[in-house]
Amino acid sequence: MPKGINLASKMEKQLPAELVNFMWIAGEIARTRGQSLYLVGGVVRDLLLGQANFDLDLVVEGDAIELAKELKRLNQGKITTYPRFNSAKLRWDKWSVDLATARSETYEKPGALPSVKPSLIDNDLSRRDFTINTMAIRLNPGYYGKLIDLYGGRNDLKHKLIRVLHEKSFTDDATRIWRGLRYEQRLDFHLERNTLKLLKRDIPMLDTTSGDRIRYEIECILQEKYPEKVFRRAEELGVLPKLHPALKGNGWLAEKFEQARQLSSPEPPEVGLYLALLAYPLINEETERLISHLRLPKSSAQTLRDSISLKSKLRLLATPGLSPSGIYRLLDAYSPPALMANSLATESPAASQNIHLFLNRLKYIEISLTGEDLMRLGVVPGPHIRELLELLHEARLDGKITTKQDEEEVVKGWLATKQG
Ligand code: ATP
């Protein structure tokens, strides 16, 4: 076995046996094909940190798609190929493994996507964002478990530092600014001194990056355990205003995000709920600017629009003595994340209570009779059917009637007044 640090026993201990076996066999198959195969990126970082991460990223010096096709036969899994990137995803049982062809990247202009060509592992590692993400573990027999650490990633892990690989890193790709803050806050690390300086210098480069790429990074942040930490830090460093100048990463946001987690527990909050809370301080035009800057998909955009429209109705919603049907009428059109965001963000306890009443009870109240039942009872087809169904629903919401028989009585009464 060659000298250097070997992580085979760590892999054995920390990763599920099925994945360890898979990597072992994959290394053998790659060797028979004359290729070198490596485990790379976040999983290596987390292995060294002793943190659970089973998202295997493999890089091969050679054709990843061909290798993936051969590996697929081992476990009868599913393969998805991405010929444009010369990469593939294998899935079987509960596992999924990404396989990529080692590549080098060159950035022709800041913010643009790089031009890419197949290459060796060293080049593949040199295009990565931070030293802690540049480590690889070789998987070929004879080298299995050998750590490749070209940029001092292990040392930076030890000292809890986020460090870029070169001075132009954030200029090449400003999404790394958000990535850096995300890793720093997730791992409880610090941006290394020069990296911090470069990051601050390159904040204006965020303007060169497409909204789609920034949105992806924001979505990743919202999937962190404590996204508010990243936004607090982003505000402190002057990164948050690049998303929108009126956004806040303050104590209010932290409190609301925590409440959102409690409200959604045991699931983590939907991204839409977090987004609506983040965007809560914005007024209409500002929200529209954020939506178009991030090119938010329809559903998230709708959540933000719902949230702001609902905000303008909170005063009405807090009217003393408002009936359940009145609450229903005010809230029925809004999406659940917008409702939840307003229930958490409003300063009116009455409005908040009414939203909870709607979400937990009113929204599930239904009537028993259908339009056909009404016709059977003698109502003439036409607009009256709809009116009557609404009348019945209102009476149910307000607790004036509770059974199917009650509903039939209401209909009969209505028919009597009409006919009488
Ligand atoms: P996470 O733990 O958040 O999943 P990860 O390290 O697995 O982190 P991914 O976003 O899945 O991160 O990316 C995989 C690897 O690709 C990273 O470890 C990093 O080395 C590299 N990478 C991703 N995005 C960039 C980028 N914008 N610039 C350079 N390298 C990147």
pLDDT value of residue 419: 62
CATH code for the domain defined by 238-364: 1.10.3090.10
User: Closest residue (by CA) to atom 28 of ligand 1?
Assistant: 129
**Residue pair 179/217 in contact by the 8 Å Cβ criterion:** yes
The confidence score (pLDDT) of residue 1 equals 46
In the reported structure, the alpha carbon of residue 121 is separated from the centroid of ligand 1 by a whole-number distance in angstroms of 16
| Protein residue with its CA nearest to atom 1 in ligand 1 | 42
Per-residue pLDDT tens listing for the chain (420 residues): 446 899 999 999 999 999 999 999 999 999 999 999 999 999 999 999 999 999 999 999 999 999 999 999 887 789 999 998 899 999 998 999 999 999 988 777 777 777 777 789 999 999 999 999 999 999 999 999 999 999 999 999 999 999 999 999 999 999 999 999 999 999 999 999 999 999 999 999 999 999 999 999 999 999 999 999 999 999 999 999 999 999 999 999 999 999 999 999 999 999 999 999 999 999 999 999 999 999 999 999 999 999 999 999 999 999 999 999 999 999 999 999 999 999 999 999 999 999 999 999 999 999 999 999 999 999 989 888 999 999 999 999 999 999 999 999 999 999 988 765
Burial annotation 297-335 (CB, 10 A radius, 16+ → b, else e): eeebbbbbbbbbebbeebeebbeeebebbbbbebbeebb
For the chain, give every domain's residue range: 1-159, 238-364, 371-419
> What residues flank ligand 1, with Cβ below 6 Å?
41-42, 57, 128-129, 133, 173, 175-176, 179
Contact 26, 73 (CB under 8 A): no
> Rounded to the nearest 10 degrees, what angle do helices 227-237 and 251-264 cross at?
160
Question: What does each C-alpha distance from 7 to 46, 120, 144, 333 come to in angstroms?
Answer: 12, 21, 8, 55
Supply the pLDDT for residue 420.
Answer: 55
Alpha-carbon span 354 to 340, nearest angstrom: 11
Q: Whose CA is nearest to atom 8 of ligand 1?
A: 42
pTM assigned to the model: 0.91
Q: 376: how many CB neighbours lie within 10 A of its CB?
A: 11
Per DSSP, the three-state class of 344 is: helix
Per-residue confidence (pLDDT) for residue 3, from 0 to 100: 67
Q: Work out the end-to-end distance of the chain between its first and last CA atoms, rounded to an integer number of angstroms.
A: 99
What are the tens digits of pLDDT across the range 300-318? 999 999 999 999 999 999 9
Protein residue whose Cα sits closest to atom 24 of ligand 1: 129
CATH code, residues 1-159 = 3.30.460.10
**Phi and psi (nearest 5°) for 229?**
-65, -40
* CB 90, CB 79: distance < 8 Å: yes
What distance in Å separates the CA atoms of residue 79 and residue 97, rounded to the nearest whole number? 10
> Residue 336 and residue 359: Cα distance in Å, rounded?
8
Asked if the domains at 1-159 and 238-364 fall in one CATH topology, the answer is no
121 and 59 Cβ atoms separated by less than 8 Å: yes
The token pair at 298 is 């329809």
Cα–Cα distance for residue pair 342/371, rounded to 1 Å: 34
Report how far ligand 1's centroid is from the alpha carbon of 170 (Å).
Answer: 14
The tens digit of pLDDT for each residue in 79-120 reads 999 998 899 999 998 999 999 999 988 777 777 777 777 789
pLDDT (0 to 100) of residue 244: 95
176 φ/ψ sector (left φ>0, alpha ψ -120 to 50, else beta): alpha
pLDDT, tens digit (0-9, with 9 covering 90-100), for 135-172: 999 999 999 999 999 999 999 999 999 999 999 999 99
Query: Ligand 1 centre and the CA of 42: distance in Å?
Result: 7
Judge contact between 119 and 10, C-beta under 8 A.
no
What one-letter code names the amino acid at 44?
V
Looking at ligand 1, which residue's alpha carbon is closest to its atom 15?
41
Which DSSP string do the residues of 345-414 spell out, in sequence order?
A: H-S-HHHHHHHHHHHHTGGG---S--HHHHHHTTPPSSHHHHHHHHHHHHHHHTTS--SHHHHHHHHHHH
The answer to whether 94 and 80 are in contact (CB under 8 A) is no
Q: Cα separations (Å) of 186 from 143, 261, 266?
A: 32, 17, 20
Q: pLDDT of 210-231, one tens digit each? A: 999 999 999 999 999 999 999 9
The H or E element containing residue 101 is strand 95-101
Per DSSP, the residues of 174-212 read THHHHHHHHHHHHHT-EE-HHHHHHHHHTGGGGGGS-HH
- What is the pLDDT at residue 76? 79
- Ligand 1 mean position, distance from CA 48 (Å): 16
